[in-house]
Amino acid sequence: MFKKVLIANRGEIAVRILSACKELGIKTVAIFSLPDRGALHARYADEAVCIGPAEPSASYLNIPAIISAANITRAEAIHPGYGFLSENAEFSAECSKNGFAFVGPTSESLRLLGDKKLACITMAKMGLPVLPGAEFSVDTKQQRVAAAERIGFPLMVKSCHGGGGRGLRVVKDMSGLEKAWSMSSIEATAGFGSDRLYLEKYLVTARHIEFQFLADESGNVLHLGERECSIQYRHQKLIEESPSVAISQEDRETLSWRINSAAKDIGYRGAGTFEFVCDGDNRFYFLEVNPRLQVEHPVTEMVTGIDIVKEQIRIAFGDSLSWKQQDIEPRGHSIECRVNAENPATFMPSTGVISMIRLPGGEGPGVRVDSACEVGTEITPYYDSLVAKIITHGRNRSEAIARMRRALETAVIKGVDTTIPFHLEVLDQPDFLGGDIYTDFVHRMIEQRARRSR
Amino acid sequence: MAIDDVVRLIQLLKEHGLEEIETESSSGRIRVKNRSTSVIEEDTSLGERTGVRGESGPNSGEVSSNDIETWIVKAPIVGTVFSAPEPGRKPFVEVGSEVVKGDILCLIEAMKLMNEIDAEKEGKIVSVFVENGQSVQYGDPLFAIDVS
């Protein structure tokens, strides 16, 4: 096993990876930016290296600085976490070139999957169902109009290299197409350094369901079931759960089998997630592959009992998967609520210093909390607003929800606004309790709230 | 109070991440304060002006004649310090070297690239905080230049 791993991230995910390394007996190196000096992840690691100022471009996205930090600390591998450089093909290549194992896919896989249009076309060829759109040429206005006529409205303008909901525009009719195209183009250039866009059919009533898998160097692929992530706002996931109440065992098996063979065919290595949308008639369509650890990975860990981060590290070392598919027996139900430092009504970021924090976990069974926040932690505009992930597990969905409710009720966070009241509101909605959840759920809940207050 | 003593105090302050050191001897009393945490976030040049004030006698009193103004050169990147252009050669600078703006003070190797660390101010090197081959983090002090 590796003797020393550098964690190229911050916050809760850096702490999560540090924990996995500690359990594997691996020494750890944290990196931190100036305002993160003294942060939990930097203190928790065996060594910590300051790599730059607050701006992510000069610190957590600074490839030469991170490689240099790995050099001076003699780390053997680099775990990128999620966000930042986790899907960066150049970073993966630089790690290998400088003699460090990258805990994630090869740069070739990242390049293929990082081009969402190409990924859709590739997956369609491999037999996965896709929404109409990616196959059309859209370089000229005439081509776009012709493509839009074939696809039908509403449709989405998407960035080929996008992520996190940026560069996305929903278009209702032909008159809005060119404006949405130019807006997305500007956003995509600013956010991802590429103005390449594509069109895709947009499903109004859809669930977001994704499938977690692990693949080792020798081509063994293990699927760990699905996560339902339909509770989103502005394409940001807020609540995730596993399993999904919407998918039949037959669909689960068919899709898992196809995903496994697609992952094998592209020579994928590491942990990954295939994202799908599912329409009102329970038809599934491939959206994209997230070639990294995901924020919501804990719900899968809770039901399968598998430590995904430890498996990632073992795979990067070259070990074969330590599980067989028949060993995977999902048990019960798990839910995650992302507690963000945001106004619970408007979702506007709430920055400030946490003056008091009391997270749940000690009151009874079935609760896990992933967080790096402490009294004195400052929520700044530089980094994401995630304060804590509260994850519960129960024998069934209703027990997991009941545990989530009491866990949220015992949480106390002062100094910043948090989304805890929002989560409690969702947990009280009859549609949520009935599993009747679609990606417009939060939008509709907010509209209803506005109608009631009028 | 000799300048060397003052510099040693700055060095101690940096090494242990202290905010303030006060010391008293037969020659008087001196207090050195670190303002790096507040300065570094605003100062993009990465250099730092440290006010060092000598104090004579048990009662605090400003003695302006004892003032020196020191510019601390900090590492702009994580890496390994090279004090000389090549092994066996004389270091770029030593304590006592006079430097002008643009002079190379040392090299920091990061990802096999040599980054020249230039003097941003004119003055005399009063302290070298790093040794050849030593690894440094972003923001670590490298040199103190007396710019008064």
The DSSP letter of residue A168 is: -
Residue A21 · residue A28 · CB < 8 Å: yes
Average pLDDT of chain A is 95
Q: Three-state SS for A187?
A: helix
Most confidently predicted of A69-78, A180-189, B64-73: A69-78
**Whole-angstrom Cα distance, residue B139 to residue A406?**
45
Contact present, A354 and A414 (Cβ < 8 Å): yes
Determine the average pLDDT of the residues in A6-27.
98
Chain B closest-CA separation from residue A335 CA (Å): 40
The string of DSSP letters for A434-452 reads TT---TTHHHHHHHHHHHH
Could you give the percent of chain A with pLDDT greater than 90? 93
Question: Per-residue pLDDT for B6 more than 70?
Answer: no
Considering the segment(s) A4-103 as one domain, its CATH architecture is: 3-Layer(aba) Sandwich (3.40)
Q: What angle do CA A432, A201, A170 make, to 5 degrees?
A: 70
Residues whose CB is less than 8 angstroms from the CB of residue A150 and which lie 6 or more positions away in sequence, other chains included? A132, A136
For A52, name the nearest residue in chain B, comparing CA atoms only: B138
What's the pLDDT at A7?
98
- Residue A19: closest CA among A369, A441, A416: A369
Strand intervals (E) in A100-205: 101-102, 155-159, 169-171, 197-201
Average pLDDT over residues B92-120: 94
Question: What number does CATH give the domain A132-201?
Answer: 3.30.1490.20
Lowest mean pLDDT among A25-29, A201-205, A301-305, A352-356: A201-205
pLDDT in tens, B108-143: 999 888 999 999 999 999 999 999 999 999 999 999
pLDDT in tens, A230-258: 999 988 999 999 999 999 999 999 999 99
The predicted model scores a pTM of 0.87
- In sequence order, what are the residues at sequence separation of 6 or more whose Cβ sits closer than 8 angstroms to the Cβ of residue A17? A5, A7, A9, A79, A81, A309
- pLDDT of residue A94 exceeding 50: yes
Nearest to A50 among B109, B111, B139 (CB): B139
Peptide bond into A154 cis (omega under 30): yes
Q: Say which of B40, B80, B138 has its CB closest to residue A65.
A: B138
Q: Does A34 touch chain B (CB under 8 A)?
A: yes
pLDDT of residue B3: 62
State the best of B131, B137, B142 to mutate against chain A, taking most chain A CBs within 10 Å: B137
Which domains are present in chain B?
A: 3-71 (no CATH), 74-142 (2.40.50.100)
By CB neighbour count within 10 A (0-12 exposed, 13-18 middle, 19+ buried), where does A342 fall? buried
State how far the Cα of A269 lies from the Cα of A105, in Å rounded to an integer: 5
Contact by Cβ (8 Å): A136, A199: yes
Q: A106-125: per-residue pLDDT in tens?
A: 999 999 999 999 999 999 99
Domain assignments of chain A as residue spans, ordered by start: 4-103, 132-201, 206-453
Q: HEC states along B55-95?
A: ECCCCCCECHHHCEEEEEEECCCCEEEECCCCCCCCCCCCC
Question: Which range, A381-385, B46-50, B64-68, has the best average confidence (pLDDT)?
Answer: A381-385
Q: How far apart are CA A223 and CA A301, in angstroms?
A: 12
CATH superfamily ID and name for A206-453: ATP-grasp fold, B domain (3.30.470.20)
Q: Which two tokens stand for residue A246?
A: 């919407």
Share of chain B above pLDDT 90, in %: 48
Residue B68 banded pLDDT, cuts 50, 70, 90: confident
State the nearest Cα–Cα gap between B105 and chain A, in angstroms.
Answer: 20
Rounded mean pLDDT, B93-114:
94
Strand spans (E) along A39-120 = 47-52, 77-79, 101-102
